[in-house]
Amino acid sequence: MSKPVILTGIRSNEEPTLGNYLGGMLPMVALQREHAGEYQINMFVPDLHSFTTPIDHASLYRNSLTNLKYFIAAGLDLSNPDTFLYRQSYIPAHSELTWILDCFTYVGEMSRMTQFKEKSSEHNESVTMGLFNYPVLMAADILLYNAKYVPVGEDQFQHLEITRDIATRFNNKFGDIFTIPEATKQQMSFIQRDNGLRIRSLTDPTKKMSKSSTDEKSKILLADDPEVARKKIMSATTDSLGEINFNWETQPGITSLLQILALLGGRSQEEVNAEWVGHTQYGDFKKAVADEVARFLTDFQARLATITDEILLAKLEQSERDMAITANETLLRAQRAVGLRPTV
Ligand code: ATP
Ligand code: MG
């Protein structure tokens, strides 16, 4: 009756960059294009996850909406009937199930989570229970909707495995309550959300472009004024070799600009290289890239401006009503299993 579920979180990404657009948003849009029809696609905003480490709470609500608008401007189709877009905190079953699962999760196994170990060493003044418990909330996010596929990066593999462990333990004790998501190996062969693309920093092209970098010139923000972005490209670090070549080892700056030119222009790398390799005028080349970036930003920002709160909230509220039904059904099965509700 129902379609298999692909579940993915749309992370709050304040001030997203061109790297986030090409490497994070476009693959998500492609996932929707390729799999809607055959699968149900749950895209949720993990707003409860967003303050496991300190944030600016005054802007959390607004940021969640703004962030979604970026995805829509990047091509996410709100009218697709197989796609559900919802905020975690609007479906209280996430927190309810987390508590139940907590009581079947061992401190020992949670203490082995490498992401917790890493993050808690960065923030050792203020390590919260939320940070420690975050993988259990993630398990609830997945299990509530009987999700089969959860396209995640390598950093989340351990959390996916603990979800499977907790669900299997629960099922062994209480019967067939949860759908076990596919193992990471199967997930990997089904889909990779991260397409491996790494857009480079404009000031140090041996590093990736990062939204958290404090060097404003290193990154193109999707919200940048196109003229400001143009200047950033014109001052991007290149080399003194004096000839354009596509070579990540010897000319990472030039190569990165060739890549941006191809990706934003929707042209193949070969075509762009055929046009520019061998040229010696870096200025002309940078101007071509700067024009392409400015044109892209102008179009993108025009699309962004058409997406109103009303359009977005209508989709969110409808999805939240629909998804609460599934989530509450799963929660009720778990509540019955542990004796909180009468069995039928
Ligand atoms: P931070 O500096 O805070 O880590 P970030 O720019 O690396 O920020 P993330 O929030 O870590 O962004 O990642 C969001 C998405 O953007 C992920 O899918 C990630 O793979 C993608 N992404 C981030 N940076 C790049 C980049 N330079 N090139 C391509 N994809 C990127
Ligand atoms: Mg990052």
Active site residue 208: yes
Task: Please state, for a pLDDT cut of 90, what percent of the chain lies above it.
Answer: 85
CB-side neighbour CA atoms (13 Å) of 210: 9
Listed range (11-20, 57-66, 282-291) with the worst mean pLDDT: 11-20
Nearest protein Cα to ligand 1, atom 30: 23
* pLDDT mean over 26-37: 92
Among residues 3, 211, 217, 231, the one annotated as catalytic is 211
Q: Is the pLDDT of residue 165 over 60?
A: yes
* pLDDT mean over 118-143: 90
* pLDDT mean over 299-315: 97
- Size of the chain in residues: 344
DSSP code of residue 201: P
CA of 210 to the centre of ligand 2 (A): 6
0.95 exceeded by pTM: no
Q: Is the pLDDT of residue 314 over 80?
A: yes
Nearest protein Cα to ligand 1, atom 22: 20
Q: What is the pLDDT of residue 8?
A: 94
Consecutive H or E run containing 87: strand 83-87
Q: Is the pLDDT of residue 193 over 60?
A: no
DSSP string of 43-65, one letter each residue: EEE-TGGGGSS---GGGHHHHHH
* pLDDT mean over 92-117: 96
Tell me the pLDDT of the chain averaged across its residues: 94
Q: Please list every protein residue whose CB sits less than 6 Å from any atom of ligand 1.
A: 11, 13, 17, 19-20, 22-24, 194, 197-199, 208-212
The pLDDT confidence band at residue 214, using thresholds 50, 70 and 90, is: very high
Q: Are the C-beta atoms of 279 and 257 separated by less than 8 Å?
A: no
Q: What is the pLDDT of residue 14?
A: 74
Contacts of 125 (CB under 8 A, 6+ apart): none
* pLDDT mean over 259-284: 97
Q: Are the C-beta atoms of 231 and 219 separated by less than 8 Å?
A: no
175: left (phi over 0), alpha (psi -120 to 50) or beta: left
The pLDDT confidence band at residue 1, using thresholds 50, 70 and 90, is: low
Task: Report the C-alpha dihedral over residues 147, 27, 81, 297, rounded to 10 degrees.
Answer: 140
- CATH architecture assigned to 5-192+309-338: 3-Layer(aba) Sandwich (3.40)
Nearest protein Cα to ligand 1, atom 25: 19
Q: Which atom of ligand 1 is nearest to the CA of 208?
A: 27
The pLDDT confidence band at residue 101, using thresholds 50, 70 and 90, is: very high
Q: Are the C-beta atoms of 91 and 327 separated by less than 8 Å?
A: yes
Q: What is the pLDDT of residue 265?
A: 95
**Hey, is 226 helix, strand or coil?**
helix
Active site residue 119: yes
Q: What is the pLDDT of residue 2?
A: 86
Q: Tokens 């962004």 correspond to what residue?
A: 304
* pLDDT mean over 66-75: 95
Residue 295 in tokens: 């044109």
* pLDDT mean over 114-142: 89
pLDDT in tens, 283-300: 999 999 999 999 999 999
Q: What is the pLDDT of residue 196?
A: 74
Contacts of 100 (CB under 8 A, 6+ apart): 334, 335, 338
**Hey, is 49 helix, strand or coil?**
helix
Higher pLDDT, 222 or 118: 222
* pLDDT mean over 236-262: 97
The pLDDT confidence band at residue 118, using thresholds 50, 70 and 90, is: confident
242: left (phi over 0), alpha (psi -120 to 50) or beta: left
CA of 219 to the centre of ligand 2 (A): 13
* pLDDT mean over 154-161: 91
Whole-Å CA distances, 154 to 157, 159, 187: 5, 10, 11
Q: Is the pLDDT of residue 195 over 80?
A: no
Among residues 3, 69, 117, 119, the one annotated as catalytic is 119
Q: Where are the CATH 1.10.240.10 domain residues in the chain?
A: 216-304
Higher pLDDT, 197 or 140: 140
Q: How far apart are CA 344 and CA 337, in angstroms?
A: 11
CA of 20 to the centre of ligand 1 (A): 5
The pLDDT confidence band at residue 18, using thresholds 50, 70 and 90, is: very high
Q: How far apart are CA 278 and CA 149, in angstroms?
A: 45
Superfamily of domain 216-304: Tyrosyl-Transfer RNA Synthetase (1.10.240.10)
Q: Where are the CATH 3.40.50.620 domain residues in the chain?
A: 5-192+309-338
**How many CB atoms are closer than 10 A to CB 172?**
8
Q: What is the pLDDT of residue 122?
A: 78
Which of 20, 152, 255, 257 gets mutated to test ligand 1 (max ligand atoms within 8 A of its CB)? 20
Residue 321 in tokens: 């009503």
Q: Which atom of ligand 1 is nearest to the CA of 213?
A: 2
Q: How far apart are CA 7 and CA 43, in angstroms?
A: 6
CA of 215 to the centre of ligand 2 (A): 15
Nearest to 220 by CA among 238, 240, 235, 242: 235
Residue 251: φ, ψ to 5°:
-135, 65
Q: What is the pLDDT of residue 104?
A: 98
